[in-house]
Amino acid sequence: QVQVQESGPGLVEPSETLSLTCSVSGYSISSGSYWGWIRQPPGKGPEWIGSFFHGGSTQYNPSLKSRVTISGDTSKGQFFLKLSSVTAADTAVYYCARTQWGFSYYIDVWGKGTTVTVSS
């Protein structure tokens, strides 16, 4: 059974870079699926951040594209999120997930989420 788990700092200072890691178990990230990040601000709906394919293809939310980098390390079964120049508006629960992409578009495996607060 595929499982994903987020890890990283729960507090980030304004203007700094938010960095999170997602560890995948029960499935190889090089086996053909896309992997991505979604965030959910308090009391709001989810917001898709972006996805990546182990071959190097990435897709990003146009509103975040200038600040986001998603990459992976297939040897470790991990993928990563970097979001630069954060502000209080980036405070949210961040989820990593397996994303179906290409023949259909949806998120079928979600992590439990990690809360990230941007504050000094």
Partner 1 sequence: QSALTQPPSASGSPGQSVTISCTGTSSDLGVYNYVSWYQQHPGKAPKLMIYGVSKRPSGVPDRFSGSKSGKTASLTVSGLQADDEADYYCSSYADSNSLVFGGGTKLTVL
From 7-15, 19-27, 58-66, 82-90, span contacting partner 1 (CB under 8 A): 58-66
| 107 sits near partner 1 (criterion: CB under 8 A) | yes
Record the tokens describing residue 43, joined without a space.
């009391």
Of the residues 45, 75, 89, 119, which one makes contact with partner 1 according to CB under 8 A? 45
Identify whether the C-beta of residue 37 lies closer than 8 Å to the C-beta of residue 96.
Answer: yes
Give CA 111 to chain center in angstroms.
10
Dihedral in degrees, nearest 10, Cα atoms 22, 36, 109, 104: -160
Name the token pair of 36.
């991505």
By CB under 8 A, tell whether 76 contacts partner 1.
Answer: no
Task: For 85-115, give the DSSP string.
Answer: S--GGG-EEEEEEEEE-SSS-EEEEE---EE
Binding-site residue total for partner 1 (CB under 8 A)? 22
Residue from 19, 46, 54, 77 binding partner 1 (CB under 8 A): 46
Q: Which of 32, 73, 112, 117 binds partner 1 (CB under 8 A)?
A: 112
Based on the shown chain and the rule CB under 8 A, indicate whether residue 105 belongs to the binding site for partner 1: yes
By CB under 8 A, name the binding residues for partner 1: 44-48, 59-63, 95, 99-100, 104-108, 110-113
